[in-house]
Amino acid sequence: MQTTTESHSLEVTGKTLTMADIGKLQPPFVLAPLPYPAASLEPALDAKTMEIHHDKHHQTYVDNLNKLIADKKDTKDLQTIITTLTGKEKGIKNNAGGHWNHTFFWTLLSGDKEKTKMPDRLKSEIESTFESVEKFKEAFEKAALAQFGSGWAWLYRDGSGKLAITTTGNQENPLMDVATVKGRPIFTVDVWEHAYYLGYQNKRADYLKAIWNVVNWVQVDAYDKEVTAH
Ligand code: MN
């Protein structure tokens, strides 16, 4: 296999990605295709929503980020950009976060029944923290509903390595040096209206209930093993 030190785009089809793969993305950033057909998450997420969300919204974050860093001599990878935001303009935070968060989010969804079945290892981790998978989902939905305006809900490992739930506003991400809540994310749901408005209008609660049908728990388990390994 040919290796290259420069990676602008992820080829995610059929592969279990690592968070390190996302962090190593290099400018100029390129939008990778969705790792599955846009209609494959129906009926939970309709094809039109997925197409607009990916092709228009995510593309805009990528384009804006490239513009904002075009004149910078130190072209850093995405991981470095989101962890050295102090002192940088807010646009870089919003658009680098937008690129990282959406790249991560696409990998967390699947219409493949093999992938939407929660692996036993992750199940027992969730049960030991939240008592049951159902209680975890309830707590996650509650947090996601309480996020006022645009943002993301996260399942992450906190500073002590414990699984926890949090939300962030706009495109903030717990990995950021400037994040209000810091940790290592293993799962997230986009709660911006653009993620659900076509299919669910203002009913964020219905979107949150439906999304459990298309969560790629195999990928969440892989991310959890990656972040707990070091
Ligand atoms: Mn979004």
Q: What is the pLDDT of residues 103-133, one digit of tens each?
A: 999 999 999 999 999 999 999 999 999 999 9
Per-residue model confidence (pLDDT) at position 71: 80
108: CB partners within 8 A, 6+ apart: 187, 188, 215, 216, 219, 220
Distance 34 CA to ligand 1 centre (A): 13
Distance 38 CA to ligand 1 centre (A): 15
DSSP state of 193: G
Per-residue model confidence (pLDDT) at position 111: 96
Distance 128 CA to ligand 1 centre (A): 31
Per-residue model confidence (pLDDT) at position 3: 42
**In Å, what is the CA distance from 40 to each residue of 4, 45, 49, 205, 216?**
31, 8, 12, 22, 13
Distance 194 CA to ligand 1 centre (A): 6
Distance 102 CA to ligand 1 centre (A): 6
Distance 56 CA to ligand 1 centre (A): 10
d(CA 187, CA 155): 5
d(CA 17, CA 12): 7
Distance 150 CA to ligand 1 centre (A): 9
**Residue 116 and residue 215 in contact, taking contact as beta carbons nearer than 8 Å:** yes
Residue 189 CB neighbour total at 10 angstroms: 26
Domains of the chain by start residue, with CATH: 19-35+46-107 (1.10.287.990), 120-228 (3.55.40.20)
Distance 189 CA to ligand 1 centre (A): 9
Reported as a single tens digit per residue, the pLDDT across 193-221 is 999 999 999 999 999 999 999 999 999 99
